[in-house]
Amino acid sequence: MSVHDVAKGGTSIWLDDLSRAKITGTDPHSLPSRIANSGVVGVTTNPSIFAAAIAGADEYASDIALLKNVSVDECVKKLTTDDVRDACDLFRDIYSSSKGIDGRVSIEVDPRLAGDTAGTIAAGKELWSIIDRPNLMIKVPATLEGLPAVTALIAEGISVNVTLIFSVKRYGAVIDAYMAGIEAATNPSHVHSVASFFVSRIDSAVDALLKTNGSPEALELLGKAAIANAHLAYQLFEEKFASSRWLAQIERGAHKQRPLWASTGVKDPAYDDTRYVVELIAPHTVNTMPQNTLDAVIDHGVVRGETITQNYAAAVDVFKSLSALNISLNAVTTELEIDGVKKFAQAWDSLLSSVADAQRQ
């Protein structure tokens, strides 16, 4: 199977991983090799990825030694923004050839600001200025406090990756926040955005409830919630970006905010390890994959073309069946957002702690 089959279906392949070793390496898993051979046209990062990349890694030791006399927050900011800037440079040709659609690298604002609108706006502007690359995207969580920050940053001409979206309802609010920013932007043709809709965590949470129920009707629904949720999100994407509100912005050169399928690594070994890729292919989408998922798709993924729009009715049936079992997707997605914000903040604290220890050595 060729990764080009995924791209032909309209889905851009981004890698959900970054480290200095990957940027400068020459092995098949290095970023230059992934760009050349694996169809990778963008990168996403998050606090957990940076924590795993930097803690104890030799390639950061010399920089940390030079930054012993600055605060640990400033040290981490320097390490992460340098990596993202270098990654942006690796993707510059793709950014140019795709006219800004791909070739993107995302960096998240400090996750401890998830409940702070003004702080998120300030942090987003600062990261945009420090990295200073047109193919950068600033990641902002889709919390209620994050939504006005999305609007403000988009209005300023800053490209944004809205992250930690779990529910279709919240996704609608994300699109509205993006459109409000585009309407306020002086030149919207310069702005791009993706909406990171999380997938596998939905199945992990819902499957646990279904197994607790244990009925034949419940067990029949195992592994169906996440893909159905994503399919209905795409249906909303199609509706919103066909609206009169959006059509008015097309005349100003505005670009659709693409759905980005995130958390696409399969967590249950009982499931096919490519399912959150091959079942989510459609025009104007992105799939950001962990390294193992990308390798699985390359090795044995079976791409059947576009796999979303013909499944809307089936997705609605899944939601109705879950509701009949008294399983509330709203309750599940609310808890997942809280947990997602918490885990990223914990990862960031862990990174700060490990870098502080390295500064003291």
Domains of the chain and any CATH numbers: 3-360 (3.20.20.70)
Reading the block at residue 11, the tokens are 């889905």
pLDDT for 1: 54
Tens-digit pLDDT profile for residues 290-309: 999 999 999 999 999 999 99
Q: Give the pLDDT band (50/70/90) at residue 2.
A: confident
CA-to-CA dists, residue 150 to 124, 156, 300, angstroms: 9, 10, 38
- Output the pLDDT for position 63: 96
Whether 313 shows a pLDDT value over 90: the answer reads: yes
The pair of structure tokens assigned to 189 is 């043709």
Q: Tell me how far the alpha carbon of residue 4 is from its chain's centroid.
A: 21
Per the structure block, which two tokens stand in for 135?
């193919």
> How many other β-carbons are positioned within 10 Å of the β-carbon of residue 106?
26
CB 210, CB 220: distance < 8 Å: no
Task: Identify the helix (H) or strand (E) that includes residue 130.
Answer: helix 117-131
Which pLDDT score, from 0 to 100, does residue 361 have?
86
* pLDDT (mean) for 13-18: 98
Task: Say how far apart CA 177 and CA 224 lie, in whole Å.
Answer: 29
Query: Catalytic residue numbers?
Result: 139
* Average pLDDT rounded to a whole number, residues 174-197: 98
Percentage of the chain surpassing pLDDT 90? 98
Nearest to 83 by CA among 286, 351, 262: 351
Q: How many CA atoms lie within 13 A of 113 on its CB side?
A: 17
Predicted pLDDT at 91: 98
In the predicted model, is pLDDT for residue 56 greater than 90?
no
Mean pLDDT value across residues 213-221: 98
Q: Could you read off the pLDDT of 142-164 as tens digits, one per residue?
A: 999 999 999 999 999 999 999 99
Which residues are 160's β-sheet partners?
138, 193
Average pLDDT, the chain: 97
Predicted confidence (pLDDT) per residue in 88-138, tens digit: 999 999 999 999 999 999 999 999 999 999 999 999 999 999 999 999 999
SS3 content of the chain, % helix, strand, coil (to 5): 60, 10, 30
Residue closest to 148 by CA, chosen among 185, 123, 112, 173: 173
pLDDT for the residue numbered 154: 98
Closest CA to 7 of 272, 224, 298: 298
